[in-house]
Chain A
């Protein structure tokens, strides 16, 4: 079964890395792919009237910890290490049920705000993967190496099981999660490198998030974190480096040369006072695939990628005192670059692109007045997740506001109550 999105007022898409704005077009979707953009196709497709809508590629939240909605607003006012230690106290008592509920809450929030795919790092990734699949969202995730909490042998076993269970999934992509160089030892890092080669899996790792981390690495290893990982063979096109708030120019060259991917989480960096505002312009100019993530709901505390795009631009401008990073760069990071990181041909609304897209309500005051020349500005600087009307992933409507809004809100409220029952004893 496919869809014909009729009379879309505006369509934003990437063609050859340039943003194009199309007017008054139809989009045909079949078998999970976009098969036509521009003119109507007669036939078997179910028609959806898309007048009064803007269609954009799906948004990719390239770094989050979905089950941490459990800890939203739990401990807001601390720097990273103090904050992490507090999180770990609760996380030591997590159950599969709690992870299931809290990841479901995040997934509801994400689909209601236009996220079509996310990359996750947390315990019980199989639980999160099942919830994501049930809601129809794309997810890249896997067990997390963190030596100080869990034996690496156990994590490796989990990884192999996860791989055999989800390796052929159309929506779930297994990855190797590595918490950081300060929680994972050298032997484990070397083992992770070998596993990545053996299983052909990407690696996601937090790197150079705080001053403490980089100076500690320099003291212990004589080099900064990216240099250290590179010396262990862990900087490659399979690496996804998260944060990079404190990174040297020569480390940027290492990243670019290796074609590693990077993810910026501006809100979380600001909230945790890491002062981490990574060199987005330099990385993009070097051709590095820059993506955006909200980080977890305990350190953001929202999973709304519209907010994150705006924050990314504003933080760059505030830090570097220039306007070289524009709305377009944030939109690229959140859409087409997110899909380049994930794998499937997405982030575009053209023939052959995966049918992951979002319809925004043109009737929203936040999007008006709207014209070709300001539509992107309105989307990045003014819109928010509540302007989302329909979300399609892999050719399937996973969220239709007119159909799902009340049901999902009620479900979120009930989950919230159950999560409060769990966290009460830690308050």
Chain B
């Protein structure tokens, strides 16, 4: 099964990609949609330009497709992108990291169905707390790159989350009622290491910007790749 992974560089799309590889799928490309505006309904915005480093670390070809970021118009962009990767790579399926967003999942499914592509969303409705803990246990390292809800500590921005940070996030989610895996757009992440990364990403420089009372973004300014070390 040749598939393309819809890839934002965040934890969910990176984990879904690993699922596909371990399912015996041949992941022939990463498809990254780059919205021109920050409030895209469909796609991840912060730091999307740095995903090329992740693609390099994964050793998978990346297709970056510009999208308007305007609701409805970006769906047309997605259709064009799916069509292009289908023709170019001969894929029969798309893998997504959708967790709970019906809008995102259904739009992707409808468009893919029209083009004769199957959609695999391995994280769909999985237990969010277990998933978050599993990510760390399985070797996925990621930084928080945006916050748009009350209750998440801004000190976590730009930081590679540790198990205690993850527990703090889970506690805050329970207290303030947001999704612990941040599926509702409460936050975004950027993966710096994962089991299939041949090299790990090191963020050299970045800055935290406050957008409003509960809205923050961490802008990566410089990163590089480093060799990985096995942990016995």
Binding site for B on A (CB under 8 A): 208, 211-212, 214-215, 218-222, 224, 246-249, 251-252, 278-279, 282, 319-321
Contact = CB atoms under 8 A, between A and B. Distances in A.
B1 to A, nearest CB: 7
Interface in B191-206: 195-196
A247 B22 CA distance: 4
Interface in B164-199: 195-196
B26 interface: yes
Interface string B195-232: 11000000000000000000000000000000010111
Give the top 3 A-B pairs by smallest Cβ distance, nearest first. Answer: A279-B24, A215-B138, A246-B22
B84 interface: no
A218 B24 CA distance: 16
Nearest to A279: B24
A321 B79 CA distance: 21
A123 B231 CA distance: 33
Given A211-B138, A321-B118, A219 B195 contact: yes
Given A220-B230, A321-B118, A278 B138 contact: no
A219 B196 CA distance: 10
Contacts of B232: 220
**By DSSP majority rule, is chain A's interface helix, strand, loop, or mixed?**
helix
A222 B230 contact: yes
A221 B230 contact: yes
B125 interface: no
Contact of A247 (B24, B118, B195): B24
**By DSSP majority rule, is chain B's interface helix, strand, loop, or mixed?**
loop
Contacts of B124: none
A246 B138 CA distance: 13
A212 B133 CA distance: 12
Interface of B: 1, 21-26, 118, 134, 137-139, 195-196, 228, 230-232
Given A247-B22, A247-B24, A249-B21, A218 B137 contact: no
Contacts of B228: 222
B21, B24, B118, B232 — which one has the most chain A CB atoms within 10 A of its CB?
B24
27 contacts: A211-B22, A211-B134, A211-B138, A212-B137, A212-B138, A214-B22, A218-B139, A218-B195, A218-B196, A219-B139, A219-B195, A220-B231, A221-B230, A222-B230, A224-B22, A246-B23, A247-B22, A248-B22, A248-B24, A249-B21, A249-B24, A249-B25, A249-B26, A251-B24, A278-B24, A279-B24, A320-B1
Contact of B24 (A215, A221, A252): A252
Given A248-B24, A279-B23, 20 more contacts: A212-B138, A214-B22, A215-B137, A215-B139, A218-B195, A219-B139, A219-B195, A222-B230, A246-B22, A246-B23, A247-B24, A248-B21, A248-B22, A249-B21, A249-B24, A251-B24, A252-B24, A278-B24, A279-B24, A321-B118
Nearest to A252: B24
Contacts of B1: 282, 320
A248 B195 CA distance: 13
A188 to B, nearest CB: 16
B159 to A, nearest CB: 21
Given A212-B137, A249-B26, A320-B1, A219 B21 contact: no
Contacts of A218: 139, 195-196
Contacts of A221: 230
A246 B137 CA distance: 16
B75 to A, nearest CB: 22
Contacts of A247: 22, 24
B231 to A, nearest CB: 5
A219 B230 contact: yes
Nearest to B232: A220
Given A218-B195, A219-B195, A220-B230, A282 B139 contact: no
A282 B2 CA distance: 12
Nearest to B122: A275
B1, B22, B118, B232 — which one has the most chain A CB atoms within 10 A of its CB?
B22
Nearest to B27: A249
A322 to B, nearest CB: 8
B118, B139, B195, B232 — which one has the most chain A CB atoms within 10 A of its CB?
B195
Contacts of A278: 24
Contacts of B134: 211
Contacts of B138: 211-212, 215
Nearest to A282: B24
A283 to B, nearest CB: 8
Nearest to B231: A219
A220 B138 CA distance: 12
